[in-house]
Structure 1
């Protein structure tokens, strides 16, 4: 009971410190541009939380999170473009007018409603993940085969988007002017977007922690380590994996929906293979089996990419590859596992005299028993 209250106190303290840093310190010390940049990184952190649950706890190497990130992002972008067209008094968004499209496509029309848009961001990617999960996990596809399949889906999704001129083609959707009635060129509203992203990240982390330390979290780890034993005990591992996969897809979709108004653009380049692998690299570097490791790793990698790209445009790819190799090869638990490694190395070695005395005592006891 004492350990439970101690862990709860540490959890509340951690959330309190994170809230102070995000809602008080960051707005006070960062410029509007850097604050928006941090909001973009927080979106990547939301994706990383879901990957940490599915990969770190469930053992599912999800190389296709760009699909769900893109679904949420494009649904939000379609709503914003329709809203902007209505503000101008036009029937279709500006890029459709340039392309000669005079009527809004049928699949765009439901997203004119803010309620339908929010429901679509939550339900559509989750439904897609459930369908994919049922087809994959029920057939016992796992390991490298699952990773290759999820990566192929991300590539196919990006190629599909490039060929669709009604959603911007290779250029994607950009130049958003409003967000649910708020002008995006207003610095106050830009800060509000950052606060929404920060609050969403905290909520997502809280939900994931509850899942990890619940009975379901223990079952998910058991499926990762001994799937056949879990099946022998009467559980269906496919259903256990399906929940984690769907939750990770939902988090990625929400992150994509927030990414659009913060960054101001979404294109096939943001949802293909390269972004999906970048999400995974951040999780691996931070520590995929921990709660905060994926978040911190994703934010750190995104920050390093931005910083190095500003000074060394061609050097980031090599630095990212070297960092990933070093972490996977020498620190499989990620940077979050360095603390435990240092504690083990600082632990004093066992005294050989005490070990010898213990062995003699054990031998004497066993002799006395046998005699």
Structure 2
């Protein structure tokens, strides 16, 4: 029991952090915001799936992927295809030349549903494909890159290129994907209207629940032997390889996990926003998602969520309050974080917040005094010549 407690929750401190985040998302935000704002928060949290995955593959694995928007978009498109087929029943599309197919296909003179769309008539199969297709794509990319020891900046450039290629491909295949407009006018899921306020509230809580599950999975990975190997590979990859471990396989695994998390976020984005377009697949959104993880702290799963919320709240506030200056204000925010808080929000808490909170609690004050006393006694034990205590012993 203690083992699972340590691995899933990260001990007492991890459990408290997860509890605070859960209370904020499940209790505070629904009470604080109206339906419109809460739906915006749900949209932001769908990006947090990507940031959590980046903590795993970038923060701990040292794999900086600048193409996570690819997996976010593929997962979103898989969900959008199911919803679009449901909205394109023969009765609703009876005015088309070919009823029963999406409207953009009819506009492009396609007379039958393409084979790649056929599996998306089934919701269980769609949910499987939401995770399976991006994960398989990540596996192919990972094997091609990591087995050939392509890493560091070269891997980042390759992922950027893949994001650009997929975005261009989606726009070019207008008859299959909706082109630059994407897949829009998504209304129901199994007859349930996802556009109502009550539906958006339910989808928000589903989104929060899935995000917390992904955080628990990520924490389990990081507290296991695999997590320690990931950090070892990030710092001394050759030493891990010479120790007999298959470094490429570990990299492929964590890259696939991050892709699966991103795909879940993309599917939840589609459900909550009601459309999916190639603008979420390209290079710019992928880089923004890296910024979310950097602002929150690339070594903290919870910090990634806070970073995502902070950046997106900032974008919304600045664009509403200072419509002509908001891009400059957001740029200033990013520069300030990089210069003064290189470890993000989580690093700021580690360096200042934890000590402050510890001093507020009685047990924390006693512990701080004991630590201070201990440090003073150690310093007095060091010889005047500056020889370390361990050396003196």
Q: Which residue of 2 aligns with 1:292?
A: 302
SS in structure 1 of the partner of residue 206 of structure 2: helix
CA–CA distance in structure 2, aligned partners of residues 140 and 76 of structure 1: 34
Q: Which residue of 2 aligns with 1:18?
A: 21
Residues 91, 102 of structure 1: 8 Å contact kept: no
Q: Structure 1 stretches (4+) deviating beyond 6 angstroms?
A: 343-354
Describe the shift of the 1:344–1:297 C-alpha distance in structure 2 as closer, same or farther (beyond 3 A): closer
Describe the shift of the 1:194–1:268 C-alpha distance in structure 2 as closer, same or farther (beyond 3 A): same
Q: Which residue of 2 aligns with 1:230?
A: 240
SS in structure 2 of the partner of residue 228 of structure 1: helix
Residues 42, 272 of structure 2: 8 Å contact kept: yes
Q: Which residue of 1 aligns with 2:209?
A: 199
Residues 164, 283 of structure 2: 8 Å contact kept: yes
Shift of 1:47: 1.0
Shift of 1:188: 1.3
Shift of 1:175: 1.2
Q: TM-score, normalised by structure 1?
A: 0.90
Residues 49, 295 of structure 1: 8 Å contact kept: yes
Deviations 1:321-356 (A, max 9, x none): 333233233332112111333379999899999847
Q: Select the residue among 139, 155, 161 that pairs with 2:164.
A: 155
Q: Which residue of 2 aligns with 1:98?
A: 107
Q: Which residue of 1 aligns with 2:363?
A: none
Shift of 1:361: 9.7
CA–CA distance in structure 2, aligned partners of residues 40 and 343 of structure 1: 28
Q: Which residue of 1 aligns with 2:359?
A: none
Describe the shift of the 1:297–1:357 C-alpha distance in structure 2 as closer, same or farther (beyond 3 A): closer
Q: Which residue of 1 aligns with 2:92?
A: 88
CA–CA distance in structure 2, aligned partners of residues 362 and 81 of structure 1: 73
Q: TM-score, normalised by structure 2?
A: 0.85
> Does 2:31 match 1:43?
no
CA–CA distance in structure 1, aligned partners of residues 10 and 126 of structure 2: 38
Q: Select the residue among 246, 251, 255 that pairs with 1:241.
A: 251
Shift of 1:299: 1.5
Residues 219, 301 of structure 2: 8 Å contact kept: yes
Deviations 1:288-336 (A, max 9, x none): 0112111110121111111211222343332333332332333321121
> Does 2:55 match 1:31?
no
CA–CA distance in structure 2, aligned partners of residues 7 and 272 of structure 1: 35
Q: Which residue of 1 aligns with 2:129?
A: 120
Shift of 1:255: 0.5
Q: Which residue of 2 aligns with 1:218?
A: 228
Q: CA RMSD in A?
A: 3.0
CA–CA distance in structure 2, aligned partners of residues 142 and 345 of structure 1: 38
Q: Which residue of 2 aligns with 1:339?
A: 349
Residues 104, 178 of structure 2: 8 Å contact kept: yes
CA–CA distance in structure 2, aligned partners of residues 316 and 202 of structure 1: 31
CA–CA distance in structure 2, aligned partners of residues 362 and 301 of structure 1: 47
Deviations 1:136-172 (A, max 9, x none): 0011111111111111111111111111112111111
Question: Where does the alignment leave 5 or more consecutive residues of structure 2 unmatched?
Answer: 94-98, 357-367
